């Protein structure tokens, strides 16, 4: 999939969790989740990213069995009730959850640990041939924002992602099945996030497709002087437009319609260069 992206893709977030930072509990019921997927489909989403574990700062880990209980019925319902061939990614760091999701109809693994939490997830991706997204994070969700530090955040993130990619390649994953994510907000200070957004072109220069997940992140709230994540829709769309111009190919967002428009307009402008 990653080798033939010819326009920016919008990945819609579906957190089937009680405690996600922006929409925790809103879509934990099956009917609510399916209604949200139907809405995102009508707004032009390309990928549905389903997660059964919150990775917000301070969150606790969720056992594989509970994640599976949350995500598998939703994936099955999308395939059966909506009769949709939309691409589905499973947002997990655990190979057991990823396998159950793939068996239920998911197409992509989205691992916020970059394959570091459970090395078997890399083996699974290699054996099944499914694409995998490797994200950078510093520390674990519970403590990652306690005291993050970088001397050169852009280079350090690039180096860490290079290590993740090399582990994936050694596990047998094909290069064209790998995408990378700088992990905006994951173990990073406000200025770290801004620096990464200012140098997205360096991530794009690696040759791997880049996923940007800046949606409603807290650091933008400090810039805009707002506290509610839902008030950061416009701010998120700005990062999407900037990302398109820098060459980013995928955008993980809560608000599909607004970011679809931002991506499409930015893409039209970029194509005219």
pLDDT digits (tens, 9 = 90+) for 44-93: 999 999 999 977 666 678 999 999 999 999 999 999 998 779 999 999 99
Q: In the prediction, which pLDDT does 255 show?
A: 97
Residue with tokens 């428009």: 261
Model-wide pTM > 0.75: yes
Q: Which residues are known to be catalytic? A: 217, 252
Contact partners, residue 6, CB within 8 Å, separation at least 6 = none
Q: DSSP secondary structure string, 45-76?
A: -SEEEEESS--STTPPP--HHHHHHHHHHHHH
Maximum CA extent, the chain: 50
**Cα dihedral across residues 178, 151, 185, 190: positive or negative:** negative
Q: In the prediction, which pLDDT does 145 show?
A: 63
Pairing of strands 47-51, 108-111: unpaired
Burial class (CB in 10 A: 0-12, 13-18, 19+), 195: middle
Q: Where are the domains of the chain?
A: 2-271
Q: In the prediction, which pLDDT does 26 show?
A: 63
Q: Closest by alpha carbon to 5, among 273, 263, 235?
A: 263
Containing H/E element for 102?
Answer: helix 95-104
- Could you give the strand order of the β-sheet that contains 132-135, starting from the edge strand earlier in sequence? 178-181, 132-135, 108-111, 87-91, 47-51, 9-15, 250-253, 211-212
DSSP conformational letter for 181: E
Q: Does domain 2-271 have CATH number 3.90.1150.10?
A: no
Q: pLDDT tens track of the chain, all 273 residues?
A: 777 888 999 999 999 987 544 555 566 688 899 999 999 999 999 999 999 997 766 667 899 999 999 999 999 999 999 877 999 999 999 999 999 999 999 999 999 999 999 999 999 999 999 999 999 998 655 554 666 889 999 999 999 999 999 999 999 999 999 999 999 999 999 999 999 999 999 999 999 999 999 999 999 999 999 999 999 999 999 999 999 999 999 999 999 999 999 999 999 999 998
DSSP conformational letter for 150: -
Q: In the prediction, which pLDDT does 154 show?
A: 98
């Amino acid at each position: 999939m990653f080798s033939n992206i010819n326009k920016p893709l919008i990945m819609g977030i579906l957190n089937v969790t009680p405690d996600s930072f922006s929409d925790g509990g809103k879509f934990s019921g099956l009917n609510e989740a399916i209604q949200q997927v139907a809405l995102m489909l009508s707004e032009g989403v390309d990928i549905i990213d389903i997660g059964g574990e919150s990775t917000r700062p301070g969150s606790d880990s969720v056992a594989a069995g509970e994640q599976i209980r949350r995500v598998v019925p939703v994936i099955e319902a999308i395939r059966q009730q909506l009769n949709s061939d939309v691409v589905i990614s499973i947002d997990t760091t655990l190979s057991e959850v990823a396998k159950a999701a793939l068996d239920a109809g998911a197409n992509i693994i989205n691992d916020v640990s970059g394959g570091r939490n459970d090395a078997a997830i890399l083996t699974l991706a290699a054996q099944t041939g499914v694409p995998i997204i490797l994200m950078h994070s510093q520390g674990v969700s519970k403590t990652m924002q306690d005291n993050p530090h970088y001397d050169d955040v852009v280079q350090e993130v690039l180096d860490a992602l290079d290590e993740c990619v090399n582990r994936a390649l050694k596990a047998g994953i094909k290069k064209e099945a790998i995408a990378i994510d700088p992990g905006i907000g994951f173990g990073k200070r406000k200025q770290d996030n801004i620096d990464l957004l200012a140098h997205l072109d360096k991530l794009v220069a690696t040759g791997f497709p880049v996923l940007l997940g800046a949606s409603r992140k807290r650091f933008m709230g400090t810039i805009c002087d707002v506290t509610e994540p839902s008030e950061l829709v416009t701010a998120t769309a700005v990062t999407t437009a900037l990302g398109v111009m820098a060459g980013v190919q995928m955008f993980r967002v809560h608000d599909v319609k607004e970011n679809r428009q931002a991506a499409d307009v930015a893409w039209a402008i970029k194509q005219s260069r």
